[in-house]
Amino acid sequence: MKFSKLIYSCAGLMVGFAMTMGLAVQSEAANFNIAKARVGDGIPKSLTGKAGDAKKGRKTAIHRKKGNCLACHTMPAPEQADHGNIGPDLKGVGGRYNIAELRLRLVSAKVLNPDTIMPSFYQSSGFHRVQKKWKGKTIISAQDVEDILAYLVTLK
């Protein structure tokens, strides 16, 4: 695929994605400080103080109006058609990273790669030109993040 074409399809996807994600925005997390929570290449502490539920996490991750990870990633979820391939296949991701590393990537992929198109799922500040109603909000809740992480670590 030509580079310019790739950029256009990415942009289209991002717009569609932002539209669906808007529905799921949460109002917590105003005080969560990524820089403080970060240790090395990860965020070691659970955002909720507890371990997540892998079964719920799988549902949220593959849900088109929640995690919508399938927009960009292929996942072991044969019941859903049309997996994306903009990001790496998530099969085996639990073997490549530990839970702290996965948490940082899900909370804010931008911390590691400022140019990434992966949404920062639990970042509520540092964005530009945010609509008033989304100010201080995250895409998914702390509980959703922990549930998705509990699922991702099973993908060995």
Structure tokens at 13: 């996807």
Query: Which residue has tokens 């903009």?
Result: 86
Shortest spacing between CB 32 and ligand HEC, in angstroms: 17
| Cα distances (Å, whole numbers) of residue 150 to 16, 56, 82, 118 | 27, 9, 24, 19
Element (H, E) at 111: helix 109-112
What minimum distance in Å lies between the beta carbon of 33 and ligand HEC?
21
| CB 148, min distance to ligand HEC, A | 5
Contact set with ligand HEC (CB under 6 A): 17, 61, 67-69, 71-73, 86-88, 90, 93, 96, 102, 105-106, 109, 113, 116-119, 121, 148, 152
* 50, 110 contact by CB (below 8 A): no
Residue (118 or 132) nearer to ligand HEC, CB? 118
Rounded to the nearest whole angstrom, what is the least distance from the CB of residue 91 to ligand HEC in the complex? 10
Q: Are 103 and 57 in contact (CB under 8 A)?
A: no
Pick between residue 115 and residue 132 the one whose CB is nearest to ligand HEC.
115
